[in-house]
Amino acid sequence: MTRILAVNTSPRASGRDLAVAASKLPTVASLLGYIETHSCLTRSRLSNSEVYLLAAIWEAQKAGVHVDYVPVCEPSYGARLGECRRECDGLLLGGPVYFGDRSSLAETFLRALPDGNGRPFAAVACGAKRNGGQETSLVYQMMDALAAGWTVVGNDAATTSQYGGTGVAGDVGSARRDGYGLDTSRGTGRRLAAVASTLAGTAKARPRVLALVLADDEGAALDVARTVTDGLDAEIIDLTAADIRRCIACDLCPTEHGPDEDYRCIIAAKGDWLAQNHGRLLGADLIIPIVYDSPRAVSVYQRFLERSRYIRRSDYILRGAVVCPVVLYDAGRIGVMHLRMSTAWMRHNTVISRAGVVMRGGDVLRAAHAVAEAHHVARNMAAAPRADVTYSAVGYGISKARDAREGRV
């Protein structure tokens, strides 16, 4: 059976084994009832971080995986963690936000994180208000996990496909009233369970690899693309000279329902590359976006990224694909492009692998190794059928509900 290790990095724990509690709750109603009951009892209430972690654990167990739960603040944490970490197929982290970052207990845990060997990682975070630093906390933990060789997933397409569970709670016990936070946490548990089960399986396929050169100078990034994909069944597309029109931020994206093969962005200019080549982006199991991050580079990266909005809204056409960003920097200059690319491409309901970073004129082998790691993960992901998902404009729904409450519609 697939096993997930759930780690509570809050400095406060109720003493309950959340995995055991979750296993006894058969329905969403019983889960919410359990949370309600223990949020109202002074001596036995769950911490807010535990509430969101419990929601994620519950969904993971409903998906058929076994969950081991370890609160870092308990004295027995070290021994229990060692036993669980050796056997886990995936890692779920939960905890509070401090000034847009994680807790010191999370920091301690992540600093000692062993090599993930491509195993999946996901997290939920609890802040005092809706924009209370949950996303930055999740992104920082994501980058730590990627650096340690884990692949990263967020919450699933049913709950916005972002960076994980984003809960809001001030006073202890108030988390029970945050339906959106509970939903994104549940979506994180479902997504992690699905990917962990796939990667723990034995089925493997030959993945189709798509390398997209999106920013380059004098062919340096294109050379890197050829090196990192050497020996793979890869198509390399150099887009730096392509005519990619900018997104116009319309509200018709995609313009109509239909099969994935149909291009449905409102921008239909005859020379637009996406309008002419939409089909070439479909069916890839491993996507390698390659960027030379330099002021001298010719770049279409941001235009391509913003135009991919129609792809996301068209029921996440890229869902399930593994993404391995590769970034070429000038010698002596390390920017944040690899972070930007990892977080942006995650929004397509993909699986993010650690980025390959190359210094111009330097050794490309580390980037090639990162691509090889991602290819190994993609072999498993390609062997599993991609689940059908439906894009839901959750943000628009929240805005409409708020406008209705405030009498603006």
209 φ/ψ angles, rounded to the nearest 5 degrees = -110, 130
Residues 63, 113, 325, 334, Cα dihedral to 10°: 150
Give this prediction's pTM: 0.94
User: CB atoms < 10 A from the CB of 55, how many?
Assistant: 30
Helix/strand/coil percentages in the chain, nearest 5: 40, 15, 40
Are the CB atoms for 153 and 122 separated by under 8 Å? yes
Are the CB atoms for 341 and 299 separated by under 8 Å? no
pLDDT, residue 395, reads 65
Dihedral angle sign, alpha carbons of residues 290, 293, 297, 302: positive
133 φ/ψ angles, rounded to the nearest 5 degrees = 95, 10
- pLDDT of 278-295, one tens digit each? 999 999 999 999 999 999
d(CA 377, CA 71): 29
pLDDT, residue 261, reads 87
CATH class of this structure's domain 3-200: alpha beta
pLDDT, residue 73, reads 86
* One-letter amino acid for residue 273 of the chain: W
pLDDT, residue 400, reads 64
pLDDT, residue 347, reads 96
Asked whether this chain's domains 3-200 and 209-383 adopt the same fold, the reply is: yes
Provide the angle, in degrees to the nearest 10, between the axes of the packed helices 134-147 and 104-111.
Answer: 20
Do the bridges between strand 356-359 and strand 326-329 make them parallel or antiparallel, or are there none, so unpaired? parallel
Domain boundaries, the chain: 3-200, 209-383
Closest by Cα among 209, 213, 215, 205 to 235: 209
Looking at the domain 209-383, which fold is it? Answer: Rossmann fold (3.40.50)
Give the chain's residues under pLDDT 70: 41-44, 76-86, 395-406, 408-409
Give the list of residues 6+ apart from residue 171 with CB closer than 8 angstroms, or none. none
Do the bridges between strand 298-299 and strand 234-238 make them parallel or antiparallel, or are there none, so unpaired? unpaired
Alpha helix ranges (H) inside 66-165: 77-87, 104-111, 134-147
> b/e per residue, 5-32, with b = 16+ CB within 10 A?
bbbbbbeebbeeebbebbeebeeeeebe
pLDDT, residue 45, reads 82
Closest by Cα among 59, 72, 73 to 4: 59
* SS3 at position 368: helix
